[in-house]
Chains A and B, each alone.
Chain A
Amino acid sequence: MRPAERMTVGDLCTREVVVTDGDLPIQDAARLMRDRHVGNVVLVERRPDGSAVPKGVITDRDLVVGVLALDLEHIAGLKVRDMVTAPVVTSKADVSLAEAIATMTANGVRRLPVVDSSGALVGILTADDVYEALAEQLSLVASVATYQQRRERRSRK
Protein backbone atom coordinates (compact mmCIF):
# COMPACT_ATOMS: atom_id res chain seq x y z
CA MET A 1 0.00 0.00 0.00
CA ARG A 2 1.15 3.51 -0.68
CA PRO A 3 2.05 5.80 2.20
CA ALA A 4 -0.87 7.91 3.37
CA GLU A 5 0.31 11.17 1.86
CA ARG A 6 0.61 9.59 -1.60
CA MET A 7 -2.68 7.69 -1.65
CA THR A 8 -4.90 9.13 -4.34
CA VAL A 9 -8.65 9.20 -4.67
CA GLY A 10 -8.23 6.87 -7.67
CA ASP A 11 -6.56 4.25 -5.43
CA LEU A 12 -9.33 4.31 -2.86
CA CYS A 13 -12.58 4.94 -4.66
CA THR A 14 -15.15 2.30 -5.59
CA ARG A 15 -14.91 1.74 -9.32
CA GLU A 16 -18.33 0.25 -9.77
CA VAL A 17 -20.89 3.04 -9.79
CA VAL A 18 -24.61 2.65 -10.34
CA VAL A 19 -25.65 5.30 -12.87
CA THR A 20 -28.84 6.46 -14.49
CA ASP A 21 -30.14 9.20 -16.72
CA GLY A 22 -32.64 11.72 -15.38
CA ASP A 23 -35.72 9.97 -16.75
CA LEU A 24 -35.68 7.08 -14.26
CA PRO A 25 -38.84 7.10 -12.10
CA ILE A 26 -38.23 7.51 -8.35
CA GLN A 27 -39.64 4.09 -7.57
CA ASP A 28 -37.20 2.46 -10.01
CA ALA A 29 -34.34 4.37 -8.37
CA ALA A 30 -35.37 2.86 -5.02
CA ARG A 31 -35.49 -0.58 -6.61
CA LEU A 32 -32.05 -0.05 -8.13
CA MET A 33 -30.65 0.87 -4.69
CA ARG A 34 -32.18 -2.28 -3.21
CA ASP A 35 -31.11 -4.69 -5.96
CA ARG A 36 -27.58 -3.32 -6.39
CA HIS A 37 -27.01 -2.85 -2.64
CA VAL A 38 -26.04 0.79 -2.90
CA GLY A 39 -27.15 3.93 -1.09
CA ASN A 40 -26.76 6.27 -4.02
CA VAL A 41 -27.23 6.47 -7.76
CA VAL A 42 -25.29 8.92 -9.90
CA LEU A 43 -27.21 10.83 -12.54
CA VAL A 44 -25.05 11.06 -15.68
CA GLU A 45 -25.15 12.55 -19.13
CA ARG A 46 -23.67 10.44 -21.92
CA ARG A 47 -21.17 11.99 -24.29
CA PRO A 48 -20.90 10.89 -27.95
CA ASP A 49 -17.86 8.72 -27.09
CA GLY A 50 -19.96 6.76 -24.55
CA SER A 51 -18.30 8.21 -21.46
CA ALA A 52 -20.54 9.45 -18.66
CA VAL A 53 -20.38 12.88 -17.03
CA PRO A 54 -21.83 13.07 -13.49
CA LYS A 55 -24.59 15.66 -13.14
CA GLY A 56 -26.00 14.82 -9.73
CA VAL A 57 -26.36 12.24 -6.98
CA ILE A 58 -29.51 10.82 -5.44
CA THR A 59 -29.39 8.89 -2.16
CA ASP A 60 -31.76 6.59 -0.29
CA ARG A 61 -32.17 9.41 2.20
CA ASP A 62 -33.13 11.89 -0.54
CA LEU A 63 -35.99 9.58 -1.48
CA VAL A 64 -37.28 9.55 2.10
CA VAL A 65 -36.87 13.16 3.24
CA GLY A 66 -37.29 14.71 -0.21
CA VAL A 67 -40.19 12.68 -1.50
CA LEU A 68 -42.13 10.81 1.19
CA ALA A 69 -41.90 13.60 3.74
CA LEU A 70 -43.67 15.92 1.32
CA ASP A 71 -46.56 13.48 1.03
CA LEU A 72 -46.71 14.08 -2.69
CA GLU A 73 -49.69 12.53 -4.30
CA HIS A 74 -47.93 11.73 -7.50
CA ILE A 75 -44.76 9.97 -6.43
CA ALA A 76 -45.35 7.61 -9.33
CA GLY A 77 -44.78 10.45 -11.82
CA LEU A 78 -41.60 11.78 -10.19
CA LYS A 79 -38.27 11.22 -11.90
CA VAL A 80 -34.70 11.19 -10.64
CA ARG A 81 -34.15 14.52 -12.42
CA ASP A 82 -36.73 16.18 -10.13
CA MET A 83 -35.08 15.09 -6.89
CA VAL A 84 -31.36 14.96 -7.54
CA THR A 85 -28.86 17.02 -5.57
CA ALA A 86 -27.20 19.20 -8.19
CA PRO A 87 -24.77 20.67 -9.05
CA VAL A 88 -22.72 17.72 -7.98
CA VAL A 89 -19.46 18.02 -6.06
CA THR A 90 -16.85 15.77 -7.69
CA SER A 91 -13.21 14.88 -7.15
CA LYS A 92 -10.45 14.26 -9.68
CA ALA A 93 -8.96 10.75 -9.49
CA ASP A 94 -5.35 11.91 -9.21
CA VAL A 95 -5.73 14.14 -6.13
CA SER A 96 -4.65 13.12 -2.63
CA LEU A 97 -6.89 11.60 0.02
CA ALA A 98 -6.31 14.69 2.16
CA GLU A 99 -7.63 16.90 -0.64
CA ALA A 100 -10.74 14.74 -1.02
CA ILE A 101 -11.41 14.94 2.72
CA ALA A 102 -11.12 18.73 2.50
CA THR A 103 -13.62 18.75 -0.39
CA MET A 104 -16.08 16.61 1.58
CA THR A 105 -15.74 18.84 4.64
CA ALA A 106 -16.02 22.13 2.77
CA ASN A 107 -19.16 21.01 0.93
CA GLY A 108 -20.75 18.95 3.70
CA VAL A 109 -21.04 15.83 1.54
CA ARG A 110 -20.02 12.26 2.33
CA ARG A 111 -19.74 10.99 -1.23
CA LEU A 112 -17.86 12.30 -4.25
CA PRO A 113 -18.23 11.02 -7.80
CA VAL A 114 -14.67 10.64 -9.11
CA VAL A 115 -13.76 11.88 -12.59
CA ASP A 116 -10.73 11.63 -14.89
CA SER A 117 -9.04 14.63 -16.49
CA SER A 118 -11.71 14.78 -19.20
CA GLY A 119 -14.51 14.92 -16.62
CA ALA A 120 -15.70 11.35 -17.26
CA LEU A 121 -16.99 9.32 -14.31
CA VAL A 122 -14.53 6.64 -13.14
CA GLY A 123 -15.69 5.87 -9.58
CA ILE A 124 -17.18 7.15 -6.36
CA LEU A 125 -15.45 7.92 -3.07
CA THR A 126 -17.55 7.70 0.10
CA ALA A 127 -16.79 8.64 3.69
CA ASP A 128 -16.70 4.89 4.44
CA ASP A 129 -13.88 4.42 1.89
CA VAL A 130 -12.01 7.20 3.70
CA TYR A 131 -12.55 5.60 7.14
CA GLU A 132 -11.33 2.27 5.81
CA ALA A 133 -8.17 3.75 4.31
CA LEU A 134 -7.34 5.69 7.47
CA ALA A 135 -8.05 2.69 9.71
CA GLU A 136 -5.63 0.58 7.66
CA GLN A 137 -2.93 3.22 8.02
CA LEU A 138 -3.63 3.42 11.73
CA SER A 139 -3.29 -0.31 12.25
CA LEU A 140 0.06 -0.17 10.44
CA VAL A 141 1.22 2.51 12.88
CA ALA A 142 -0.01 0.41 15.80
CA SER A 143 1.88 -2.68 14.59
CA VAL A 144 5.07 -0.64 14.30
CA ALA A 145 4.59 0.58 17.87
CA THR A 146 4.15 -2.98 19.15
CA TYR A 147 7.20 -4.15 17.23
CA GLN A 148 9.30 -1.36 18.71
CA GLN A 149 8.17 -2.20 22.24
CA ARG A 150 9.20 -5.83 21.75
CA ARG A 151 12.55 -4.82 20.31
CA GLU A 152 13.21 -2.45 23.20
CA ARG A 153 12.35 -5.14 25.72
CA ARG A 154 14.78 -7.52 24.02
CA SER A 155 17.61 -4.99 23.85
CA ARG A 156 17.30 -4.18 27.56
CA LYS A 157 17.69 -7.78 28.68
Chain B
Amino acid sequence: MQVRDVMTRAVEAIGPDTSLVEAARFMRDESIGFLPVLEEGRLVGVITDRDITVRATADALDAQSTRVGSVMTKPVVTISESESIYEADALMERHTIRRLVVLDGRGALCGVLSLDDLAVLPDREKDSMVEP
Protein backbone atom coordinates (compact mmCIF):
# COMPACT_ATOMS: atom_id res chain seq x y z
CA MET B 1 0.00 0.00 0.00
CA GLN B 2 1.33 3.42 -0.98
CA VAL B 3 1.22 6.83 0.67
CA ARG B 4 -1.13 8.13 -2.06
CA ASP B 5 -3.77 5.54 -1.07
CA VAL B 6 -4.27 6.89 2.45
CA MET B 7 -3.07 10.52 2.40
CA THR B 8 -5.33 13.56 2.57
CA ARG B 9 -5.48 15.27 -0.83
CA ALA B 10 -6.38 18.81 -1.84
CA VAL B 11 -4.30 20.32 0.92
CA GLU B 12 -4.71 23.90 2.00
CA ALA B 13 -1.50 25.94 2.16
CA ILE B 14 -0.53 29.37 3.46
CA GLY B 15 2.03 32.04 2.58
CA PRO B 16 4.98 33.01 4.80
CA ASP B 17 3.86 36.66 4.97
CA THR B 18 0.47 35.81 6.48
CA SER B 19 -0.03 37.15 10.02
CA LEU B 20 -0.49 34.70 12.89
CA VAL B 21 -3.98 36.04 13.52
CA GLU B 22 -4.97 35.20 9.94
CA ALA B 23 -3.27 31.80 10.18
CA ALA B 24 -5.12 31.04 13.43
CA ARG B 25 -8.47 32.00 11.84
CA PHE B 26 -7.72 29.87 8.81
CA MET B 27 -6.90 26.89 11.06
CA ARG B 28 -10.12 27.43 12.99
CA ASP B 29 -12.36 27.86 9.93
CA GLU B 30 -10.89 24.91 8.03
CA SER B 31 -10.63 22.72 11.16
CA ILE B 32 -6.97 21.97 10.53
CA GLY B 33 -3.87 22.29 12.66
CA PHE B 34 -1.17 21.84 10.06
CA LEU B 35 -0.42 23.95 6.99
CA PRO B 36 2.35 23.67 4.40
CA VAL B 37 3.90 27.09 3.76
CA LEU B 38 4.34 27.92 0.08
CA GLU B 39 6.30 30.83 -1.37
CA GLU B 40 5.75 31.26 -5.11
CA GLY B 41 4.74 27.62 -5.32
CA ARG B 42 7.82 26.44 -3.48
CA LEU B 43 7.53 24.57 -0.17
CA VAL B 44 9.47 26.60 2.41
CA GLY B 45 8.12 25.23 5.71
CA VAL B 46 5.13 23.99 7.66
CA ILE B 47 3.23 25.62 10.49
CA THR B 48 1.11 23.93 13.16
CA ASP B 49 -1.15 25.22 15.89
CA ARG B 50 1.51 24.05 18.33
CA ASP B 51 4.25 26.09 16.59
CA ILE B 52 2.15 29.19 17.15
CA THR B 53 1.58 28.39 20.82
CA VAL B 54 5.16 27.52 21.79
CA ARG B 55 7.01 29.99 19.55
CA ALA B 56 4.70 33.00 19.59
CA THR B 57 2.16 32.96 22.42
CA ALA B 58 4.70 31.66 24.95
CA ASP B 59 7.07 34.51 24.08
CA ALA B 60 4.28 37.09 24.04
CA LEU B 61 4.88 37.92 20.36
CA ASP B 62 2.22 40.12 18.83
CA ALA B 63 0.02 37.86 16.71
CA GLN B 64 -1.06 40.70 14.43
CA SER B 65 2.43 41.72 13.34
CA THR B 66 4.24 38.37 13.57
CA ARG B 67 4.36 36.47 10.28
CA VAL B 68 4.03 32.75 9.60
CA GLY B 69 7.53 32.70 8.12
CA SER B 70 9.16 33.61 11.42
CA VAL B 71 7.61 30.82 13.53
CA MET B 72 7.19 28.01 10.96
CA THR B 73 9.12 24.75 11.11
CA LYS B 74 11.79 24.16 8.49
CA PRO B 75 13.22 22.20 6.79
CA VAL B 76 10.15 20.08 6.02
CA VAL B 77 10.18 16.29 6.16
CA THR B 78 8.59 15.12 2.91
CA ILE B 79 7.78 11.80 1.30
CA SER B 80 6.90 10.76 -2.22
CA GLU B 81 3.31 9.70 -2.88
CA SER B 82 4.59 6.41 -4.34
CA GLU B 83 6.47 5.39 -1.16
CA SER B 84 5.10 2.55 0.99
CA ILE B 85 3.14 3.35 4.14
CA TYR B 86 5.73 1.31 6.03
CA GLU B 87 8.41 3.77 4.96
CA ALA B 88 6.14 6.66 5.98
CA ASP B 89 5.64 5.15 9.43
CA ALA B 90 9.40 4.69 9.86
CA LEU B 91 10.08 8.26 8.74
CA MET B 92 7.60 9.68 11.26
CA GLU B 93 9.17 7.62 14.01
CA ARG B 94 12.73 8.62 13.07
CA HIS B 95 11.87 12.33 13.15
CA THR B 96 9.32 11.99 15.99
CA ILE B 97 6.70 13.82 13.98
CA ARG B 98 3.13 12.90 13.20
CA ARG B 99 2.63 14.42 9.78
CA LEU B 100 4.49 14.30 6.47
CA VAL B 101 4.12 16.56 3.45
CA VAL B 102 3.55 14.40 0.37
CA LEU B 103 5.12 15.29 -2.98
CA ASP B 104 4.17 14.00 -6.43
CA GLY B 105 6.57 12.73 -9.10
CA ARG B 106 7.55 16.28 -10.08
CA GLY B 107 8.24 17.32 -6.52
CA ALA B 108 5.06 19.39 -6.14
CA LEU B 109 2.88 19.37 -3.01
CA CYS B 110 0.02 16.89 -3.45
CA GLY B 111 -1.10 15.90 0.04
CA VAL B 112 -0.46 15.42 3.73
CA LEU B 113 -0.11 12.10 5.52
CA SER B 114 -0.83 12.06 9.25
CA LEU B 115 -0.23 9.39 11.86
CA ASP B 116 -4.01 9.27 12.24
CA ASP B 117 -4.32 8.27 8.55
CA LEU B 118 -2.10 5.27 9.30
CA ALA B 119 -3.81 4.43 12.58
CA VAL B 120 -7.26 4.08 11.06
CA LEU B 121 -6.20 1.69 8.29
CA PRO B 122 -8.04 -1.62 8.16
CA ASP B 123 -6.25 -4.26 10.26
CA ARG B 124 -5.10 -6.29 7.27
CA GLU B 125 -3.28 -3.26 5.88
CA LYS B 126 -1.63 -2.51 9.20
CA ASP B 127 -0.37 -6.11 9.36
CA SER B 128 1.93 -5.35 6.46
CA MET B 129 3.43 -2.41 8.37
CA VAL B 130 4.96 -4.48 11.15
CA GLU B 131 6.96 -6.63 8.77
CA PRO B 132 10.30 -5.01 8.02
Contacts and interface: CB of A to CB of B under 8 A. Distances in A.
Interface in A47-77: 60-61, 63-65, 67-69, 71, 75-76
A61 B47 CA distance: 12
A142 interface: yes
Given A30-B58, A60-B54, A71 B21 contact: yes
Among A26, A65, A127, A142, the one with the most B-chain Cβ atoms within 10 Å of its Cβ is A65
B28 A69 contact: yes
B57 interface: yes
Contact of B53 (A34, A75, A131): A34
B57 A71 contact: no
Nearest to A34: B54
Interface string A113-157: 000000000000001100100110011011001100000000000
A64 B52 contact: yes
A100 B54 CA distance: 29
B57 A138 contact: no
B127 A138 contact: yes
Contacts of A139: 130
Interface of A: 26-27, 30-31, 33-34, 39, 60-61, 63-65, 67-69, 71, 75-76, 127-128, 131, 134-135, 138-139, 141-142, 145-146
Given A64-B24, A67-B24, A69-B25, 12 more contacts: A31-B58, A34-B53, A39-B50, A60-B53, A63-B52, A64-B52, A65-B49, A67-B57, A68-B57, A69-B27, A131-B119, A135-B130
7 contacts: A27-B60, A33-B50, A33-B58, A60-B53, A64-B27, A65-B24, A127-B116
